[in-house]
Chains A and B, each alone.
Chain A
Amino acid sequence: MTLMGWLQIGFLFILLFGLTKPLGLYLYNIYESPSRFKILSTLEEMIFRFCGIDKEQQTWKAYTFCLILFNLIGIIVLFLIQTTQHFLPLNPQNYPAVPWDLALNTAVSFVTHTNWQAYSGETTLSYFTQMMGLTWQNFCAAGTGMTAFLALSRALAHHATDEGDKTVGNFWVDLIRSILFVFLPACFIFALILVSQGTLQNFSPAIDVTTLEGAKQTIAMGPVASQEAIKILGTNGGGFFNANSAHPFENPTPLSNFLQMLALVLIPAALTYTYGKITKSSSHGWALLATMVFISLLGVAFIYYFESQPNPLLNHLHLNQDLGNLEGKEVRFGIPGSSLFANFATDTSGGPANSMYDSFSPIGGLVLLINMLLGEVVFGGVGVGLFGMIMFVIISVFIAGLMVGRTPEYLGKKIEGKEVRFAILYVALYPLVILVGTSWSILAPYGLSSLQNLGPHGLSEVLYAYTSATQNNGSAFAGLNANTPWYNITLALAMFIGRFLSIYLGLAFAGSMVNKKIAIPNAGTFPTQGMLFIGLLIGVILIVGALTYFPVLILSPFLENTYLQMGKTT
């Protein structure tokens, strides 16, 4: 580890803190008083009128129904685009239709905000599929995440009324506003910045060149920057190229790398401020951000430290390993730029990669796994990250409330059996899918056959795949051949459950909170801000995560690390 490395990391966090409030305030204003933004709101009105959206307030049930319906249609459309891409325009390489199981996996993957890619984009998908299918879904999936967050935070802020008003907003309004006011303008600017750094944006067919050595090489082209912008800002993570952000056409320079890292966590971080504003408890919003920053810093410290260590398996070659474990990393980003990127990629539900996570040291890989296993609540996906964080907060304040001798309450609303049920089911859902999926795959021959490595590393690869899918991350420990019917289908299922069942549970929770009375806190109320709360929340997140995944993590990266120190792999 070097001082320069830490300065880079520190600078990014400081910048993040500085941007949280202005951006969070902007987000608050566009959702709560959009008429301030004349041009956009006129445009929005036109869209509403064109689509026949009456802006009627919906209950959580109607809201959730629209959310899931909209996304189901998204899956079908994206599936059809892929399987018919050879008939559709913008296919200069004449790629054939995508096989059905891969198309299904990819459709679910992009709709669920996962962007798990069991294919290489540049050799499988046409420009039309990339733009109209994937990029479009990147916007919709990010927007969907925002809507889930909005419905939940409105429900928590809503004062009980005698009429029993239980509405949480209008899904279509929230979705369109998220895309129109947030993602489109932000991505437009960000894409241009990326282009200035050298990211591609064209419709040219791939170029065949002869290298100086005389070898033939095909250089892929395409509308990269436009997809790259939403991939990062929307914490989607699905790259245009298979190499994702490691590819020089996606992420050309250290500056573009820095900006991509910042953009990845920017909106999730800003939402903590928006949340504080909506629920009229700004200090609680800051406490959530502090919790996220602490866990994130802890993660990057571990990764950076372990990636800076030499690989013991290479010791006998007498190589100079002073720079650390550079296998699978881009030299232009270095260890700190790769460590922080990987940490953010798994903290958020983004899952882009500027290095090969499979080549990380076992402990580095362990941190990436843990980041996802904790539920991607540290920053997390746009909207849904904070959404999941609130579920952990519910469990924390429930226990803390009991410990101070008051019926637990959150933001003044009592937490009772019904709410605890939704929160704990939300937390239990992920281990169920991840552990069952992983254990099945490593026993069944059709699962085992995709493994490149046996032993603990093989287990890590499968565990990583199911974790990444269920948590809608989308990053991969390469090494596992996931493009088989078994993995395509089960991972698609995992992604679907991990996305929509969890949103359903969270919104059901919102529904049961919406018409509760808001009690005024007194000296006996446990405060949801300040160091003690932050400490408690960190403790609950880490302990629940640790207790749930202790055995499997011991058997995968931990064991691998033990082997590595002994100089063996299995």
Chain B
Amino acid sequence: MTKSVPHMRSRINKSMFQDIMSMTFKRLNPFYLQKNPVMFVVFIGGSLTSLICLRDLLYSIPFHEPLWFTASISFWLWFTLLFANGAEAIAEGKGKAHASSLKALAKEIKAHRILKNGQEEIVPASELRRDDIVKVQAGEFIPSDGEIIEGIAAIDESAITGESAPVIRESDSDRSSVTAGTRVISNSLLVRIIANPGESFLDQMIHLVQAAKRQKTPNEIALQILLVGLTLIFLIVCATLIPFGLYFHDKISLTVTIALLVCLIPTTIGGLVSAIGISGIERALRKNILAMSGKAVETAGDVDVLLLDKTGTITLGNRMPVEFIPFEGVDIKELAKVVQLSSFADRTPEGKSIIEFVQKNYGNFIDEKDIANLTFIPFSAETRMSGCDNKSLSVRKGSCDAIQDFIEKKGGKRPSNFAQVTEQIGLEGGTPLAVAQNDKILGIIHLKDIIKPGIHERFKRLRAMGVRTVMITGDNPFTAQTIAEEVGVDTFLAEATPEKKMKLIMEEQAKGYLVAMTGDGTNDAPALAQADLGIAMNSGTQAAKEAANMVDLDSNPTKILEVIEIGKQLLMTRGCLTTFSIANDVAKYFAIIPAIFVLSLPELEALNIMHLVSPHSAVLSAVIFNALIIVILIPLALRGVKYRPLGAKSLLARSLLIYGVGGILVPFIGIKLIDMLLVNMSLI
């Protein structure tokens, strides 16, 4: 559903490449690395082996191991770190590229700031503060995110959404927000600025993709604790291996112990965990979702219940007529004529679609002469009718009870089967509109919701993910039921009011469910705040946006499905790489343990099932594999493990097979290949 926006696709260009390289090296800084304990252990290992090399260069007798070996191990340990840093830098670079392409729009714009005394001054957009009022005229760009306080205008948002059709933004409505960098096409607006420089949604988002600034999410912290725990266990294992060696009269060198330690600790996930987190946010950004926090994206993956407004989300915004039902004694043509007359002044999308329907099926009944003699009564929310009058004639079209009142006032009576016909339409999920001429109801227009194409599949997918969907609609329960069944939502809330919606959210939460919803209006704001995940439409009011955890720049409510998938993907990628990382250790033991004891306990050669050529090649191959696997997995970390809505069981079985069993087997092959390569190239 989301269109890809060509100019926003990030490509790694030359300057970005330089940025990434410099970040990669700069972050070898121990103060930076200590935030990631697993990689910090690698740093200490690399430093110690480097010191041993230095010592060996100064003294002629090497420290336990030949110099070339210690140097190679040291070299690859540093590379392990660089690869991990590189992964993070690439993820960050990509994220920043997206964010800054959005941000670049707002640069260099001049704003007309209205001063307290009513005078205008021209200032650069970057100097605008919260609550400043600016005037934006046709052809100008919106200088900073804001809310329209006066005026209505057509705005070209294509720079952000990629959608070329202009959108209408209007003060005091649910579509009062404007975004920096979009262009006003018609009219002029007074806009109140809502964020200080550097505090806009976009700025917040940029923080989320910066490794040094972003906050770890709770789930990431939990994983980190697990990884630190595993590191601790392996530290104990490796440290106590030295005394065990001594018991068998074998002095295990520090270099080999460090090599074993680095191979065993979960460097694969430890090195990629930051990149995974950043690229999760970046994927959201790529879908034009601004998340207020990394936690919000993760929460999305846990959503149990999803509240969706019917109108605009499940159905197209406007209903369309599907048939005219004349009452007894009324000719269909005559009805069609009255319908056209009465709808002529109805400028709502529904009114327009009714006229189109008449013209398409019954031809045109109105010519210029007629119009001149008629007084048109436009549709209004109060009367819920539209129509036209002249001396002898009064036609109306509108909601059934309004029309009924209308004819009863004139002394008319409704047809005997009126209630039956209207109820039937309601049962079918449609909306009946009555058509009257003077004191007589001629017939009924059957209006129907047009369900968005493809929505049925989306609900199926959501159900497979374990998400329950609730349709929110102002319709009566019968209509709601029919539509709910037709599109395949699980339940519905009919005759919804903001209070009812809020109550529903709280009830679901009390049952232990995590609730997500989308909204745009100010009256949605409390519900958006109450929901565990609230996504506000970018077109919505400021209040709605502030209450939400995410803002969708495309204002497309069905995008929530993709947000949920991004959240799930984020966790899955972490889980799968953790499993892979731990499963890898089996092969590494088989490579290194027999190598360590080759001299004192040659009997352990039986464990060398990979038939690695020499102890040195075995240890080195394991270390090289451990470093290279990080590089190989960078694309997966950035892209995320593919999510399939299969249900938890089959999803897990699948992942366990690929990353668990695969994680055990792959290093056996990889280490053996590296060993063969080292030997064939006479490096050993």
Flag whether A539 is at the interface (Cβ < 8 A): yes
Which of the candidate stretches A339-347, A368-376, A380-388, A555-563 sits at the interface with the other chain? A555-563
Instruction: Return 5 A-B CB contacts under 8 Å, by A number.
Output: A404-B575, A408-B222, A416-B218, A439-B244, A554-B604
**A525 / chain B contacts, CB cutoff of 8 Å:** 466, 648
Counting contact residues on chain A (CB < 8 A from B), the size range is 35 or more
Q: Of A405, A415, A532, which is in contact with the most chain B CB atoms at under 10 Å from its CB? A: A405
How far is the CB of B357 from the nearest CB of chain A, in Å? Answer: 42
Q: Say whether, besides A403-B652, A520-B512, A428 and B233 are in contact (CB < 8 Å).
A: yes
Bound-complex Cα distance A217 to B572 (A): 70
**A210 / chain B contacts, CB cutoff of 8 Å:** none
**A522 / chain B contacts, CB cutoff of 8 Å:** 304, 466-468
Q: Say whether, besides A417-B222, A439-B240, A443-B247, A428 and B232 are in contact (CB < 8 Å).
A: yes
Q: A404-B652, A438-B240, A520-B512 are in contact. List 15 more A-B contacts (CB 8 A).
A: A399-B575, A403-B655, A404-B572, A404-B648, A407-B219, A407-B302, A415-B222, A517-B512, A524-B466, A526-B652, A547-B264, A547-B582, A551-B589, A552-B244, A563-B603
The answer to whether B219 touches A431 (Cβ under 8 A) is: no
Flag whether A436 is at the interface (Cβ < 8 A): yes
Bound-complex Cα distance A400 to B651 (A): 10
A519: nearest chain-B partner, CB-CB: B512
**B299 / chain A contacts, CB cutoff of 8 Å:** 407
Chain A residues at the B interface, C-beta cutoff of 8 Å:
395, 398-408, 412, 415-417, 419-421, 424-425, 427-428, 431-432, 435-436, 438-440, 442-443, 459, 517-520, 522-527, 530, 532, 536, 539, 543, 546-552, 554-555, 559, 562-563, 566
How far is the CB of A420 from the nearest CB of chain B, in Å? Answer: 5
Q: Name the contact of B225 in the complex, choosing from A424, A517, A519, A566 (C-beta under 8 A).
A: A424
A535: nearest chain-B partner, CB-CB: B656
Chain B residues at the A interface, C-beta cutoff of 8 Å:
218-219, 221-226, 228-230, 232-234, 236-237, 240-244, 246-248, 264, 298-299, 301-302, 304, 463-468, 511-514, 567-572, 574-576, 578-579, 582-583, 585-586, 589, 593, 597, 601, 603-604, 606-607, 643, 647-649, 651-653, 655-656, 659-660
B596: nearest chain-A partner, CB-CB: A551
The answer to whether A405 touches B643 (Cβ under 8 A) is: yes
Q: Name the contact of A403 in the complex, choosing from B465, B572, B589 (C-beta under 8 A).
A: B572
Q: Name the contact of B604 in the complex, choosing from A405, A425, A562 (C-beta under 8 A).
A: A562
Q: Name the contact of A562 in the complex, choosing from B222, B583, B603 (C-beta under 8 A).
A: B603
Rank and list the top 6 A-B pairs by shortest CB-CB distance, nearest first: A402-B575, A405-B568, A524-B466, A424-B229, A523-B466, A403-B575
B575: nearest chain-A partner, CB-CB: A402
**B218 / chain A contacts, CB cutoff of 8 Å:** 416-417
Q: Say whether, besides A420-B226, A439-B240, A519-B304, A551 and B593 are in contact (CB < 8 Å).
A: yes
The answer to whether B571 touches A405 (Cβ under 8 A) is: yes
The answer to whether A417 touches B225 (Cβ under 8 A) is: yes
The answer to whether B221 touches A536 (Cβ under 8 A) is: no
Q: How many A-B residue pairs have CB under 8 A?
A: 193
The answer to whether A550 touches B589 (Cβ under 8 A) is: yes
How far is the CB of A533 from the nearest CB of chain B, in Å? Answer: 9
The answer to whether A524 touches B465 (Cβ under 8 A) is: yes
Bound-complex Cα distance A427 to B234 (A): 12
B238: nearest chain-A partner, CB-CB: A551
Bound-complex Cα distance A400 to B647 (A): 13
The answer to whether B652 touches A427 (Cβ under 8 A) is: no
The answer to whether A405 touches B567 (Cβ under 8 A) is: yes
A409: nearest chain-B partner, CB-CB: B302
The answer to whether B603 touches A398 (Cβ under 8 A) is: no
How far is the CB of A252 from the nearest CB of chain B, in Å? Answer: 41
The answer to whether B243 touches A552 (Cβ under 8 A) is: no
The answer to whether A435 touches B575 (Cβ under 8 A) is: no
How far is the CB of A414 from the nearest CB of chain B, in Å? Answer: 9
The answer to whether A551 touches B244 (Cβ under 8 A) is: yes
The answer to whether B586 touches A547 (Cβ under 8 A) is: yes
Bound-complex Cα distance A395 to B223 (A): 10
A463: nearest chain-B partner, CB-CB: B244
Bound-complex Cα distance A551 to B512 (A): 45
**B240 / chain A contacts, CB cutoff of 8 Å:** 435-436, 438-439, 552
Bound-complex Cα distance A109 to B603 (A): 38
The answer to whether A518 touches B512 (Cβ under 8 A) is: yes
